[in-house]
Amino acid sequence: MTYLDHASTTPVLPAVITAVGAVMAHPGNPSSLHASGRRARRSVEEARESFAAALGARPSEVVFTSGGTESDNLAVTGFYRARRAEDPARRRILVAPVEHHAVLDVVEHLADPRTGEGAEIGWLEVDDYGRVHADTLAAAIAEDPSSVALVSVMWANNEVGTVNPVRELAAVAHAHGIPFHTDAVQAVGQLPVDFARSGVDAMTVSAHKFGGPVGVGALVVRRDAALVPVVFGGGQERGIRSGTLDVAGIVGMATALAEATGRQPEHAARLTDLRDALIAAVLERVPDVAVSGDPGQSLVDGGPSRLPGNAHLRFAGCESDALMMLLDARGIECSAGSACTAGVARPSHVLLGMGVEPADARGALRFSLGHSSTEADVRALAEVIAPVVERARRAAVAGARRS
C-alpha cells in the first residue's frame, strides 16, 4: 500500500515502539508511593521535561490528556466556565467555521439552549485560503469586548493545510484581556512551534500526528491561566485533568516529539519538495484539478504559510468518497478530509467555510505526507490518478442520470 494519510495518523516511529515496550514491561501507577509507583512517576516527569523543552514550554505548563479531542474540549470548556464564573456577561466564544470538530462541536454544545451553558458563538470570517486575519479578530472583539469569553483559532488547518498567524491573533486577544487557545495538532513536527514565543494561553497537541502512540496528548497551558476542569476524581495534573496517567503513552509521545522537533527543519524541506512534486504530477495528468488552501510560497510566524506535507485537491465532476475508494482499490490510501468525519456524506465544512461551492467541494481529496513518505509514493499516485478520476466522473454522470 501507498500511505498518503499522515494527517490522520502518522506511522509510529521505531524508537517509540522500543520506549513504550520498555515502560510496559514494568508495573506501577505513578500516583502510588511504593517503589514501582515512584519509578512510574519518574518516567512521567522525565517525559514531561523532555516534552516541554521540545515545545518551548515549562514542565509545569504541560497537562497530559488522552489526545487532541480531550485537550480541545478541556481548553474551550475550561476557559469558558472560568470566565463566566468571573463575569456572567462573558458569553461569546470567537471561533472560525473551519476549525476541527473537536472545537466546533464543543462550542456548539456550550451554545445549545438545552445545556444551560448560555454561550454565544461569534463566527470569525476566513479568507479564500481558510486563514483568520488579525484585523478580522480585532473587529469581532470590538463589537463588544466585555462579552468575549475566549478565542480559539487552530495553528494549521487539518484539511487544507493553511497556517494561521497565531502570534498576531494571540496579541489581539490579549490586548483585551481575552484568553487565546490554539489547536496545534497538525502543526507540531511540521512547523516551528514554540509555546512561549507564540503568546497563546493554551495549545493542543496529539501524539499520533508526529509518530507517537494513539490515545495520548497534552494541553500546554500557562500556569496563570484560569481553567475549570471537566474531569474529576483524582486531582492529577494540577487538578486540571484527573485520571491515572498513561505512563507508556506519555513516554512514547515525548520520545516521538523529541525526534520530530529535532529534525523538523530538514523534515519540512523534504516534505515540501515531495508535496510540490505530488501536486505537479497530478496536475500533469488531470489539468483541471484545483488546489485548496494557501499556495505555500510565503511565511507566517517564521514558518511556511502551508503545512509542508499537505496537498488538498479538488476534482471537478467527482464524488470524493468514490475517488477515495477507487484509489484504495489501486493501493493508494488518502482521505476526503478529517478522519473524524469520514463516512459522512456531505461536503467539507472547511471548504464551505472558505466559500467553495458545495458542488466543487464534493470532489475533494487530501493527500498528506510524513516521515515514511518517499518519491515512490508520488510515482504510485501519478500512475493511477488519471484513470481513477475518469472512472469516478463516469460514475457521477451515470448516477445523475439515474436520479
Whose CA is closest to 292, among 360, 234, 218?
360
Please state, in angstroms and rounded to a whole number, the distance separating the CA atoms of residues 175 and 77: 22
Whose CA is closest to 135, among 191, 84, 175, 195?
175
Question: What residue type is assigned to position 9 of the chain?
Answer: T
Whose CA is closest to 163, among 194, 189, 132?
132
Spacing of C-alpha 37 from chain mean position: 33
Phi, psi of 64, deg, nearest 5: -80, 140
Residue partners of 247: CB distance under 8 A and separation at least 6:
23, 28, 30, 40, 43, 44
Identify the active-site residue in 228, 340, 344, 380. Answer: 340
Please state, in angstroms and rounded to a whole number, the distance separating the CA atoms of residues 129 and 330: 31
Active-site residue flag, 318: no
Unique residue bearing C-alpha cell 492529577: 236
Spacing of C-alpha 378 from chain mean position: 24
Catalytic residue list? 340
